[in-house]
Structure 1
């Protein structure tokens, strides 16, 4: 399922012109921004491969809110969040904040998708970084999660979830807001 979803995401993103991609990411920001009003720390991610970018969302957060991004001390370390911007290569050569940037505990996390169903179950890249990080954050305080992705990443059928999988609270695409818990 993961390999099929990765291939579908790659093909979808490859078909986008730079102008259309920017337009769709702008529409995603329009869909998501009204849902960030109560958040203090909004965590996004530095997009890799064919992922939709959260940067137009992070660039538009309100005064008094702070943007955070994933940070890894090493390949086997638990993912943390540090104050944006992404300025140095992490263990997988994906840009991340400086190791000296303040560590933050986000109360809202924009989660990248490989695929997701409408119940909030997601497939990521398979390493479990987000599940472990969200579980750790939720031990201390509530954290609202919004999976963000292209339209083609939302599947109709259920995605099987393991007991350690952290379900999403909502999903957003450039065309749709999906509340996952009625």
Structure 2
């Protein structure tokens, strides 16, 4: 039986996962912490108008948004993804992360407040400068962002190491939700003009 060839998107995902793994593991702890602090410096000025900011609990090779969430002001609420089980749609509940979720990552407890973020920090495997994002292929963020945007504007910011940004356009499926901006420790990339209305970050 012939083995189906991988799609271009699947090949790019596999190559980018390996590149992300190699890059992250090449960083010593002090340099990694310095890069994540620089990421926070770049992102925080763009969060001034956000009321509820959702981050994520990073996998081993992902850049961490923890320093961003820790630096939110007293009027802002931080949230993290939450899953009831592996078949459930991703929701967001207020921090901190207290229990292991069905995907093996830490998440808030089931009695934490469920919230609808107006700004979501989105992990990625690879992204281009137009906001096309390749994730792990499960579609969790595409479905969650689509659901949130049924009730109003939600600003999606991809968070990545610098080598995860592709200069050439990436393939996109019809259901892929584009990012509004991308942040690395080196730059803030505007992918789409902000739409009028809603509780958009004032400086995004």
Which TM-score bucket, shorter chain as reference?
A: over 0.9
> What is the DSSP-based 3-state SS (H/G/I as helix, E as strand, rest coil) of the residue aligned with 1:99?
coil
> What is the DSSP-based 3-state SS (H/G/I as helix, E as strand, rest coil) of the residue aligned with 2:150?
helix
Aligned counterpart, 2:165? 154
Aligned counterpart, 1:140? 151
CA shift at 1:141, angstroms?
A: 1.0
Q: Are 2:70 and 1:59 equivalent residues in the alignment? A: yes
Q: Are 2:124 and 1:113 equivalent residues in the alignment? A: yes
> What is the DSSP-based 3-state SS (H/G/I as helix, E as strand, rest coil) of the residue aligned with 2:149?
helix
In the alignment, the residues of structure 2 paired with residue 141 and residue 98 of structure 1 have an alpha-carbon distance, to the nearest angstrom, of 26
In the alignment, the residues of structure 2 paired with residue 147 and residue 10 of structure 1 have an alpha-carbon distance, to the nearest angstrom, of 18
CA shift at 1:92, angstroms?
A: 1.3
Q: Are 2:47 and 1:41 equivalent residues in the alignment? A: no
CA shift at 1:93, angstroms?
A: 1.3
In the alignment, the residues of structure 1 paired with residue 53 and residue 136 of structure 2 have an alpha-carbon distance, to the nearest angstrom, of 22
Aligned counterpart, 1:16? 27
Q: Are 2:192 and 1:181 equivalent residues in the alignment? A: yes
Unaligned runs of 5+ in 2: 1-11, 194-204
In the alignment, the residues of structure 1 paired with residue 173 and residue 163 of structure 2 have an alpha-carbon distance, to the nearest angstrom, of 23
User: In angstroms, what is the RMSD of aligned CA positions?
Assistant: 0.6
- State the Cα deviation string for residues 13-59 of structure 1 (Å, max 9, x = none): 00000000000000000000000000000000000120000000000
Displacement over 4 Å in runs of 4+: none
> What is the DSSP-based 3-state SS (H/G/I as helix, E as strand, rest coil) of the residue aligned with 1:78?
coil
| TM-score, structure 1 as length reference | 0.99
Q: Quick one: which of 91, 104, 108 aligns to 1:97?
A: 108
